[in-house]
Structure 1
Amino acid sequence: MAAAVLSVRNLSVDLALAGRERPILKDISFDMRPREIVGVVGASGSGKTVLSKAVVNWIEAPLAIRGGEVRFRDRDILAMAPGEMRRLRRDVAYVGANPMGALDPTLPVGRQIVEKIRAVAPEIGGAEAARRVVELLEAVRIPSAKARFHDYPSQFSGGMMQRALIVDAMVSNPTLLVADNVTQPLDVTVAAQVIRLMRELTERFETAVLFVSSSLPVAREAASRILVIDDGRLVEEQPTEALIASPRHPYTRELVSQVPAIWREAPAVPRGSNAERSAVVSLNDVSQTYRVRKRGAFAGASELRAVRRVTFDVFKGDSFAVVGESGCGKSTLMRLLSRLERPAGGEVLCEGQDISKLSGAGLLAFRRKLQLVLQDPFDSLPPRTAIGRMLEIPLRVHGWRDAGRIREKVRAVMNDVGLPDALYEELPTGLSAGQRQRVNVARAMVLDPEILLMDETLSALDQTEQFKLLALFEKLQREHSLTYIFISHDLAMVRKACNRIAVMYLGEVVELADNDRLFFDPGHPYTKALLSAMPTLEERRYRPEDCLLEGEPPSPIDLPTGCSFRSRCPQAFDRCVRENPLLTARGRTDLSSCHLVSSPSAIAAERASRSTGT
């Protein structure tokens, strides 16, 4: 067996605040060897991120290392002088979970990575460094790498930015890479590509990877061995498959039990047939287009078609999901549904009213009826406003004046979402991510809405907090007859919580189906690709090697002819180039926009003629 490249022994880290010390990590010990990917899993607050930063010696006040060693190639990096640590940065790299905030927004991405190369290897010239960066951008499958070299961070999608940061970490061919929750903000297809890329990099550069994740299924995809941390302690360490099959510690068994089942259990309880219910939200042929400046042109502009001809109904009592990759139009659709924007074409109706035409009292009434719960549990709450006061504001905006009645209503809603009364006068600063998201839910629920629009509401939370919030959403829907619209890339959450699902690709709805039909019998190749990339503890129904997509979708500024999915579709044929398929019925309620669904017999004939050359 190869010698350990990293040895952590009895590592302890404390948090010192207001003269008090609280242990964060307690006597952590483990080893890593070359080409090994070791997963670290645990709930938020368990100490995972502190461990990842301690391994690269980035612990700063108010955190302090109280004991132990971190030995890299048999040298304790915690005892190194600053000059030694700078030289060590060639061999030890770190990638965090916030790709969009990691680079300077005023400089091109490629130029910043060139500066990193020349900082760690000053003997490399500028032209050679640029050539190497372009090669690495191509290696991580960033399309048009030479052109993207000159783009700014704001011009990269989240998935592309994360891959660029991996390039930034790998330019010095490090021996150890610490990846801290790098897949959490990514769509399932992009996350699958990043994990596959890391495996390739471990072979190509003999790099060991410490893969920190809040998701046990994601860690399973990446790691050959998993460390489980609970309350700062290493409670279990096993080979990945052994840990999944036979978890030893009660906390590990709890983590395994909280992973949503995809195919082995029944979906969300059906809400009855659509014919028996009224539509509370309807989109009729909705489109949204933005004008963006042409690169290199003084006054020219292009049209970015973010949403194209979207039509669907959301029925009373639904838990309706909209899923798809970054850039597919989900966020634009959220802004149209919440009347933050007006559509360029079509209608968005709420109980028969065109919301784009509302103003004054009518718009205020719509705001009471439909409330939005945002993704980020940290930046969405004002840090200097007490929680109770924060929840009072919507009531005051909507005309409530009696202070006693307002306070009574806020306390009732706080109790409803699981927030204790003691938090009424507290600031949100010390709250966990899960508690903060409960405050966001309470802020929406205080107006007694009929519809909650959830924009990636659970994506920033760990597996344990997601499990708790899903139980809360089920309780609130049952008690208040709520209708939910989830905007999400988390298909496991969608499987557990939603009864109807719309799949978006490049601004269009390409499939609309009930939960069971979509997961067991998807009608569109893109849906199969999403399902094949979904992290799970179960045996996959769809194989990634048959379905998984490469690269990025086409640009919404320069849409391809025919089917917009054909450049990434493993089943594309001649008709896909000529014609854009329309949504076609698959039974009574399900729809799919694929030529394979619309005319399978014609497709078989065309394929046969192609194979015989006639």
Structure 2
Amino acid sequence: MTALLRVSDLRVDYGSGRRANPAVRGVSLEVAPGEIVAVVGESGSGKSTIAHALVRLLPGEAHIRGGSIVFDGTDLMKASTATLRRIRGGRIGFVPQDPSHSLNPLMRVGEQVAETLRRHRRLSRADAAARAVEILREVGIPDPELRASQYPHELSGGLRQRVLIGIAWACEPALVIADEPTSALDATVQRHVLDRMQALARAHGTAVLLVTHDLAVAADRADRIIVVEKGEIVEAGVARDVLSAPQNGYTRRLVAAAPGLNSERLQSRLNVVDRMQPSSPEPLVVVSGLTKTYGSARSGGGAPAVDRAEFSIARGSTFSLVGESGSGKSTTARMVARIIGADEGSIVFDGADITTLSGEPLRQLRRRIQVVYQNPFGSLDPRMTVERLVAEPLRAFGVGTAKERSATVRELLGQVRLNADLLGRRPAQLSGGQRQRVAIARALALRPELVVLDEPVSALDVSVQEQVLRLLVELQAEFGLTYLFISHDLGVIRQISDRIAVMKDGRIVEQADAARIFADAEHPYTRELIGAIPGRLA
């Protein structure tokens, strides 16, 4: 079959002259009509640069240094600006990664879809507006007439991403390039968005170039997979063959790290057979009737964020709360850590009721309960060095002399597998995985008994994600830590949990040992979450 898109020896640099940094190094690929091809790699691999280069939408500091891009017989490298404008949106659709930055916040959603139709299909304003509503319906947006009149901030992340898909498919293009179209979405929303995108591709015979860091997502959706590392293609082939028998070491690491493609728990893979046994059969944490409401909900005008949650956490174990955004899991964790207060219910920690602690007793509790947040770049002070960040809890509680604290910080960095030469760096000078390890070291500085981990790996590439999860398991075995782990991703939860509670609309709808949840889930919502784990369709 003749290729719709043919890329030969594409080379892209960032910067120029002696400061030029090669981002894409001689990439060649083809996409046939109606084919779904996934370009897979970690952050910094060059995959998004490839996607943007294909439609000549690179940032100003990036330069195409060589190669050719031929789309349906047209050499895009030699095409005029007018020709590129006709092709982009008309013949090639583009789905960007972040809808919050890609949709115009000052324009209604329907108008943004209609604008593409007026520009490329020359429809009248009335016809374009009517067709825009139909497109919103086709991409699975409920009440499309209402949504068309709303602004982007009035839609959820999943709905905004569907709007972008609708814009990309509005003119029934021959090719759609989707750059990480679901990386910021909950697992169930991700599945629904990808289902809709795949259905549109099949219905219209559209070819899709799907850019993703998640090999499990590629496994579900792609006919062929292209693996990119450091700007070069290291492996390519039929999806089934690449996943079942990867030839390249980098590909094998990605396959091993993808939660959806790897069903084993990290504990069994690490052979942690000597995990510290609890010194007491009594649970470390017991939560009863925990309730939290915000705003008008207190006066009966809305639903509580958390509604009568009850669970206990065994010492030395990992208890996971899982659910989609808005389910109440993070609010529950913040109440357990006493970051916010509960409206009703009780929290018993190590036999003592901590629900209403205040003042110095609450401050001393901070030594025993620590939190690791989702985004270490936001939770770590950008002005402080790694050494100061990790030492800060020790200084705050007057632990040791300055010399002793410095030695403790070095010891902590070693425990989270970071080199001491990072001590003088600031968060902006670290990778995402390094920042999260610094956050973990900081949380461990006071030797807490309970660590609350709020989406600690959701912002990381799958291979870095696995490294951090593996580290958490090793630290738990070494120090007898108890974890309250928060995530929207059951693929991650499966790897690390002893017991799981599933939350929906503020309520725990099911809880049981991890093995039973995955073998015989009772609640339909739990089964839906399990079904949404990427890689299960492979």
Inter-partner Cα distance in structure 2 for 1:180 and 1:158: 16
SS in 1 for 2:39: strand
Deviations 1:83-102 (A, max 9, x none): 33322222223223323343
CA separation of 1:313 and 1:25: change in aligned 2, threshold 3 A: same
User: How far apart, CA to CA, are the structure 1 residues paired with 2:181 and 2:59?
Assistant: 21
Counterpart in the other structure of 1:109: 109
After the TM superposition, which residues 318-357 of structure 1 pair with which residues of structure 2 at under 5 Å, given as runs? Answer: 318-357=317-356
The equivalences for 1:250-289 within 5 A come to 250-260=249-259, 265=264, 268=267, 277-289=281-293
* Mapped contact 1:503–1:509 kept (Cα < 8 A): yes
Which residue does the alignment assign to 1:470?
469
Match of 2:505 in 1: 506
Structure 2 gap ranges (5+): none
CA displacement 1:66-96 (0-9 Å, x = unmatched): 2112222222323334333322222223223
* Mapping 1:129-278, distance limit 5 Å: 129-260=128-259, 265=264, 268=267, 277-278=281-282
Would you say the 8 A contact 1:95–1:166 is kept in 2? yes
Deviation at 1:538, TM superposition (A): 8.1
Q: What letter is aligned with 2:93?
A: A
1:45 aligns to what? 44
Q: Encode CA deviations 1:102-155: one digit per residue, 9 max, x unaligned.
A: 33445543344344544555x333333332222222222222222233334333
Shift of 1:312: 0.6
SS at match of 2:291: strand
- CA distance, structure 2, for counterparts of residue 353 and residue 374 of structure 1: 25
Structure 1 unmatched ranges of 5 or more: 294-299, 540-614
Give the distance between the partners of 2:256 and 2:452, measured in 1 at CA: 28
**2:96 aligned residue:** 96
- Sort the Cα spacing of 1:388 and 1:531 in 2 relative to 1 into closer, same or farther, 3 A: same
TM-score, L = length of structure 2: 0.90
Contact 2:307 2:507 in 1 (8 A): yes
8 A contact 2:385–2:425 mirrored in 1: yes
Contact 1:263/1:519 (8 A) holds in 2:
no
Q: d(CA) in 1 for partners of 2:285 and 2:469?
A: 23
| One-letter amino acid of the counterpart of residue 98, structure 1 | D
Distance 2:182 2:169 in 1: 17
**3-state SS of 1:441 partner:** helix
**Matched-pair contact (CA < 8 Å) for 1:195–1:221:** no
Question: How many angstroms does 1:345 deviate by?
Answer: 2.1
Confirm or deny that 1:4 pairs with 2:6.
no
Post-superposition offset of 1:438: 1.4
Distance, in Å, in 1 between the alignment partners of 2:149 and 2:361 is 47
Q: Alignment partner of 1:304: what SS?
A: coil
Q: Which moved more, 1:210-219 or 1:83-92?
A: 83-92
Determine whether 1:429 maps to 2:433: no
SS in 2 for 1:29: strand
Q: 470-479 or 18-27, which moves further after superposition?
A: 18-27
Give the letter aligned to residue 283 of structure 2. A
Offset, 1:524: 1.6
Q: How many angstroms apart in 1 are the aligned matches of 2:108 and 2:351?
A: 47
1:268 shift after superposition? 4.5
In structure 2, what is the Cα distance between the partners aligned to 1:511 and 1:261? 21
Partner Cα distance (2:265, 2:390) in 1: 37
User: Structure 1 residues 292 and 36 mapped into 2: Cα distance closer, same or farther (>3 Å)?
Assistant: farther
Asked if the contact 2:265/2:496 (under 8 Å) is kept, the reply is: no
Distance 1:264 1:304, change over 3 A: closer
Pick closer, same or farther for the CA change 1:232–1:287 going to 2, 3 Å: same
| SS of aligned partner of 2:378 | coil
Q: Contact between 1:369 and 1:451, CA under 8 Å: does it hold in 2?
A: yes
The amino acid across from 1:211 in the alignment is: L
- CA distance in structure 1 between the partners assigned to 2:76 and 2:14 by the alignment: 20
Over 3 Å counting, the alpha-carbon distance change for 1:44 and 1:474 in structure 2 is same
Distance change >3 Å, CA 170–CA 159, structure 1 → 2: same
- Cα distance change, pair 113–421 in 1 and its aligned pair in 2 (3 A): same
- How many Å separate the matches in 2 of 1:450 and 1:274? 12
Higher relative contact order (CA 8 A, sep 6+): 2
What residue identity is the alignment partner of 1:5?
L
1:197/1:388 Cα in 2 relative to 1: closer, same or farther (>3 Å)? same
**How far apart in 1 are the matches of 2:330 and 2:155?**
16
Distance across 1 between alignment mates of 2:411 and 2:155: 44
2:276–2:316 CA contact under 8 A, matched in 1: no
Q: Label 1:528 to 1:357 Cα distance change in 2 as closer, same or farther (>3 A).
A: same
Partner SS, residue 25 of structure 2: strand
Which moves more between the two structures, 515-524 or 345-354? Answer: 345-354
Compute the displacement of 1:331 (Å): 2.6
Change (3 A) 1:320 1:370: same
Deviation at 1:221, TM superposition (A): 0.5
Normalising by the residue count of structure 1, what TM-score does the alignment of the two structures yield? 0.80
Distance 1:209 1:84, change over 3 A: same
Q: Taking structure 1 as reference, are residues 48 and 382 closer, same or farther at Cα in structure 2, changes over 3 Å only?
A: farther
8 Å CA contact 1:226–1:243 kept in 2: the answer is yes
Partner of 1:313: 312
Letter in 2 for 1:51: I
Q: Which residue of structure 2 lines up, in the alignment, with residue 590 of structure 1?
A: none
Corresponding residue of 1:395: 394
Map 1:548-567 to 2 at 5 A.
Answer: none
Distance 1:490 1:458 in 2: 10
Distance 1:341 1:148 in 2: 34
RMSD: 2.8
Aligned residues: 531
State the identity %.
39
Question: Equivalents in 2 of 1:352, 1:17: separation in Å?
Answer: 63
Q: CA deviation at 1:263?
A: 8.5
Of 458-467 and 345-354, more deviation after overlay is shown by 345-354
SS across alignment from 2:295: strand
**Residues of 2 paired with 1:439 and 1:172: CA distance?**
47
Paired letter, 2:390: L
Matching residue's letter, 2:34: R
Asked whether 1:413 is paired with 2:412, we answer yes
Distance 1:368 1:158 in 2: 36
- Post-superposition CA distance 1:500-541 (Å, at most 9, x none): 0011122111111111111111122222222222123687xx
Instruction: Give the stretch that moved more between structures: 28-37 or 167-176.
Output: 167-176
Pair 1:439 & 2:438 matched: yes
After superposition, give the CA deviation of every residue in 1:580-610 in whole Å (9 maximum; x if it has no partner). xxxxxxxxxxxxxxxxxxxxxxxxxxxxxxx
Deviations 1:32-52 (A, max 9, x none): 122211011122222122222
Contact 1:268 1:495 in 2 (8 A): no
Corresponding residue for 2:34?
35
Distance 1:48 1:266, change over 3 A: closer
Question: What is the distance in 1 between the residues matched to 2:108 and 2:350?
Answer: 47
* Per-residue deviation, 1:430: 3.5
* One-letter amino acid of the counterpart of residue 199, structure 1: Q
Q: How big is each residue's C-alpha offset from its partner over 1:328-381, in whole Å with a ceiling of 9 and x where there is no partner?
A: 222322332333322232223333444442222122222222222122244344
Deviation of 1:274 (Å): 9.9
| 1:53-72 → structure 2 map (5 Å cutoff) | 53-72=52-71
- Do the aligned partners of residues 87 and 378 (structure 1) sit closer, same or farther apart at CA in structure 2, a change above 3 Å counting? farther
Residue 379 of structure 1 aligns to a residue in which SS? Answer: helix
Structure 1 residues 443 and 38 mapped into 2: Cα distance closer, same or farther (>3 Å)?
A: same
